[in-house]
A and B are shown apart, each in its own frame.
Chain A
Amino acid sequence: MIAAFLETAAPRGANVVLALEIVMGIALLLGAWLARKRRFRQHAWCQSTIVLLNFAVVAAIMVPSFRAHVLPRIPAKLGKAYYALATMHGALGTITELAGLYILLSAGTSVLPEKLRITKYKLWMRSVLGLWWVVLLLGMATYTRWYVPHLFRK
């Protein structure tokens, strides 16, 4: 996997973010398994840490990159895979992260008023986990399109 990273044209930061996101995706699955085993405290810690860590990565690295490289070219260049993949990843990723934060606030704190809190936890959590993995796969596709030479050429 490290050798595959070195063969791409990606800067080190992009490689670190990709590795981190893959680890976070796997950790979320592990967190879901903890809930199935009824170890809810560990489940809460695991999922909350990942949602907050991802928020930091998105705010510090992904949003500035998106603003610099993608935002000035959309919607005009959305027909190109380079921009379309990044835009889909960004849009769906924002919804997923916000949903994750909402679950965290609703289930883990008493910040939200009673009527705004979730009642169907399982449905929300499973939906966000599914969306998270769709976003992760879109992120991998974006990385591939941005940094892997020859892949889309004959």
Chain B
Amino acid sequence: MFIAGLAAALVLGIGVFGTGRKGSVTRAQQTTSATEVKIDNFSFGPVTLTVPVGTTVTWTNRDDIPHNTVSTDDPKIFKSKVLDTDEKFAFTFSKPGTYSYFCSIHPKMTGKVIVQ
């Protein structure tokens, strides 16, 4: 009985632990060190990008409709023109910080660049 209880506790423990690790993997995937953000299907990918200071981040519109990239800061730190399919916009982040941005044509599309 004790062994059965221990086994059940272990299984449950692994289950909980496993779930926790899965969550951290998902977060890690969202904060890649890539310097390109793809715009596709009304979303930025990755949603959160972590880069070192001095990195140039390039946004490429892979969607079949126009989008843009505008920082939420006031005054705007960066603002792209309207990007048609396959057009790009690049910006170099020279100071550490968290830079949130969005598409002003579709304001529900948001993303973030964390500069460390």
| Contact surface of A with B, Cβ cutoff 8 Å | 9-11, 68-69, 72-73, 77, 80, 82, 145-147, 149-150, 152-153
Contacts and interface: CB of A to CB of B under 8 A. Distances in A.
A9 B41 contact: no
A69 B109 CA distance: 17
7 contacts: A9-B108, A11-B105, A11-B107, A68-B82, A73-B84, A82-B64, A145-B65
A9 B66 contact: no
B42 to A, nearest CB: 4
Contacts of A145: 65
Given A147-B106, A153-B41, 15 more contacts: A9-B106, A9-B108, A9-B109, A10-B106, A11-B106, A11-B107, A68-B82, A69-B105, A72-B82, A73-B84, A80-B64, A82-B66, A145-B65, A146-B65, A146-B105
Contact of B65 (A68, A72, A82): A82
Nearest to A152: B64
Contacts of A73: 66, 84
A79 to B, nearest CB: 12
Q: What bracket does the count of chain B residues touching chain A fall in?
A: 10 to 19
B42 A9 contact: yes
Contact of A149 (B41, B66, B105, B107): B41
A11 B67 CA distance: 13
Q: Interface centre among A9, A10, A152, A153, by most B CB within 10 Å?
A: A9
Q: Interface centre among A145, A147, A149, by most B CB within 10 Å?
A: A149
Contacts of B64: 80, 82, 152
A114 B106 CA distance: 49
A73 B87 CA distance: 13
Nearest to A65: B105
Interface in B73-116: 82, 84, 105-109
Contacts of A11: 105-107
Nearest to B108: A9
A10 B42 CA distance: 11
A69 B66 contact: yes
Interface string B30-66: 0000000000011000000000000000000000111
A9 B43 CA distance: 10
Given A9-B109, A69-B66, A149 B42 contact: yes
Nearest to B82: A69
B68 to A, nearest CB: 10
